[in-house]
Amino acid sequence: MIHEKLSRRTTLAGAALLLLAVDCQAQGPPEDHSCTVDFAVEYTQPYGKDGNNFNSGGGFQTGGGFEVWHPAEAGHRASLYLTANFLYTRLAATAGALAAAKSSDIMELATATSARGSFYATTFDPTFRYALNRRTNLYLVGGFGWFRRGVEFKADGSATLTESGAGTFGKADANSGVFDFGGGANFGLTRKGGPMLYAEARVYRGLAINNATTLLPLSVGVRW
């Protein structure tokens, strides 16, 4: 009797350990895709001097890359990717910045009724990923690239049959380098890999002629 009870307990304990081992194995990180692509919508808050010139606004970003390193051991959690990213965001000028432009020495701006800034950035970014489990990994990203800040003014006029009455004028564009850095998290939709949802915060800091521009885009999108 004692032997039977001991045998049952041993069997149950062995089964429990087996289930625990299977569960722990299921929590291990999956193999990442060697190549990756992504697309996201973003909400941008400007800082620096341009924080006074523009309101927050929206846009999109897209990118892709490939894995360049991971440990040789099975079940590795860390990996390094080389990625490229494109950002576009459009921000409306503040009332104060528009009033200052209209009162400047540039006479054609006196009739402006609105102004918007368009910001473009293309960067090349090493990206470090660390898997927490099969569905979630965190990452850090940072790099350097090209940046463009453009501003256009608009004025309303009398509409005709052939013209809407709204005109665009006073465009000004400036190109420079840019630094970017940030981080985020990928959330797998299944435990077997495949598409992931991701959330990211990144900072773009313009250089040279655009050194008054600092952008903080918050992005949510899909990554494969």
pLDDT in tens, 180-196: 999 999 999 877 768 99
pTM of the model: 0.78
| Triad 30, 31, 32: Cα angle to 5° | 110
- CATH assignment of 31-223? 2.40.160.20
Label residue 11 by pLDDT band (50, 70, 90). very low
Amino acid 77 reads R
Q: Which two tokens stand for residue 10?
A: 């041993």
pLDDT band at 34 (very low <50, low <70, confident <90, very high): confident
Residue 206 predicted with pLDDT over 90 = yes
Instruction: Report the alpha-carbon distance of residue 10 to residue 194 in Å, rounded.
Output: 40
User: What is the chain's length?
Assistant: 224
Beta bridge partners of 202: 182
Write down the pLDDT at residue 120. 98
Q: What is the pLDDT of residues 51-100, one digit of tens each?
A: 999 999 999 999 999 999 876 665 678 999 999 999 999 999 999 999 98
Q: Where in the chain are the domains? A: 31-223
Structure tokens at 48: 């620096």
User: Are the C-beta atoms of residues 90 and 121 closer than 8 Å to each other?
Assistant: no
